[in-house]
Structure 1
Amino acid sequence: MQIKKHQNEEPIPDFVLWQNYKDGDIDSLSELMRRYYMSLLQYGTKFTKNKMLIEDILHDLFLELLDRRAFISNPESVKNYLFKAFRINLNKAIHKNNLMIGIKEQEEDIFADLKTIEHAILDEDSEKEIIAKLNQYFGLLTKRQKEALHLKYYESLSHEEISAVMDINKQSVSNLLQQAIGILKKSWFAYLVLFKLFSS
């Protein structure tokens, strides 16, 4: 079955694809995988550098969805469901393989596209200095603060959805985000980058 779009070429909503998948349409599940694969892949790099493991868990997740479609209910948010299921499966695999769990703090900061933002603010000659400053400020954030920022501003999840993915209450999500932004606000430079990224 070929995935069709609504009139005006609008993307098919997630919940429609999910229901089609539940009804046995493999193409709909493939479309969901295509839609979220890169986002899930990037999210996985916040927990481990082992990209092969991340890809394996992603593939296993969608195979599991195929096998268990008769037993899976309809979630309120398909995206939220996929991120939470992936997070749980990846953490289990990391434990099993005795790998270090945790979001990368030293080598890369939470913003994968810093170079584009940097060039929009200062000249290219200042790039190394910019990266050093940003790594310094974002390095002050905890693992969970970085994860919350990523889910909110990169994946556009609500506080309720983040609480479900991270398995914490909504107040804890609010606290993490407020604390993280508060730390970054102490540097006008880091806050400027934060503002440009989040308002774009």
Structure 2
Amino acid sequence: MPNVLKSDLELWLAVRNDNELAFNELFHRYWSRLYKAAQYKLRDKETSSEVVHDIFLSLWQRRHQLEINNFSGYLLMCIRYQVYTRLKPAKAPVSYQAQMEDNTCALTWNKGEINIQEHELHESLQECVSQLPKRCHEIFHLSRIEHLSNQEIAERLGISKKSVENQITMALKHLRTAFEGAGISIILLDFLLRK
């Protein structure tokens, strides 16, 4: 591979064709950024390094199955997912607690962590939706945020119901692709959109 700077998409397409040099370029391009993001949340150098290496190992192993259009956005979702997986507290054995205050404290902390995760996921989701083409974004917004039926959207925009369905399908496919590696279902994404 010549010393010409290539876009992430060009490099990823080369990786999908088993080009190790392209993979190394993406690795060096993003390793430090991902490591810093992991270190910021985990506060542990070794675990942060493991997280980033796990992501790149998974990318290499699944290179033939993954279709990534926004490489930096995909890596951002991967790092968040891996960090939250490691931050998730281990399940403690069930035991009787005489003091109710202790239980309340533990529940508040867990709920706070869940709220943070949900908020960051919602932000990533909104960013992903904003990348849709203008008309697709508009139709998706009317469907998922304003809760209009496909027929109502078609009437409002003066287009066929089939066009509305096609645009929503395209938007959902875009979301599935963007969040595929994070193990997030389209049902959860749809739920977060409606909040």
TM-score of the superposed pair, with normalisation by structure 1: 0.45
Q: How high is the TM-score relative to the length of structure 2?
A: 0.46
Larger Rg: 2
